[in-house]
Amino acid sequence: MKRYLFGFVVFAAIAGAARSEATEDAAEKMLQGEWDLASVEVEGKRLPAPAGKGGSIVFAKDGKLIWKDPGKPEKIGTYKIDAGKQPKQIDLIASKDGATMRGIYELDSEKLQMAFSADGPKGKRPRDFKGDKVLIVIWKRQKP
């Protein structure tokens, strides 16, 4: 009986890992594409992005990230997500110096909301989208 129980536990663990990997793949595919900055909220105050001047961010395959600011050179980096956590987690990593912004995110087909510590890369990952020390960035999916 113990042998069957052990086999079931091993099977359940493998199935859970495969399901988690499928969730990650689906979340990453949904995230991919170019997103225009819609607004930024700092300490509860929302600052809308000026039309056409807010910049954009591109989530590409294989974790590649491109920041685009009008009139400035593109910045290249990487990203990692963990869609299995609640709230979902995202890390944005700058290629130049390795600085990592640890955040959380919510995503639907047209809107991406991310929250980071207002203290920058030295700050801790927020637990939710509230609080004085939380920087909230809202992106709208760019139309093709």
Per-residue pLDDT reduced to its tens digit, 3-50: 444 444 334 334 344 444 556 678 889 999 999 999 999 878 888 887
Q: pLDDT tens digits, residue range 75-88? A: 999 999 999 999 99
What is the mean pLDDT of the segment spanning 118-123? 92
Share of the chain above pLDDT 70, in %: 83
Could you say which architecture CATH assigns to the domain 2-141? Answer: Beta Barrel (2.40)
Q: 117 with 139: CB under 8 angstroms?
A: no
Higher pLDDT, 25 or 56: 56
pLDDT at 125: 96
Residue 50 vs residues 43, 55, 113: alpha-carbon distances, Å: 19, 9, 18
Domain ranges of the chain: 2-141
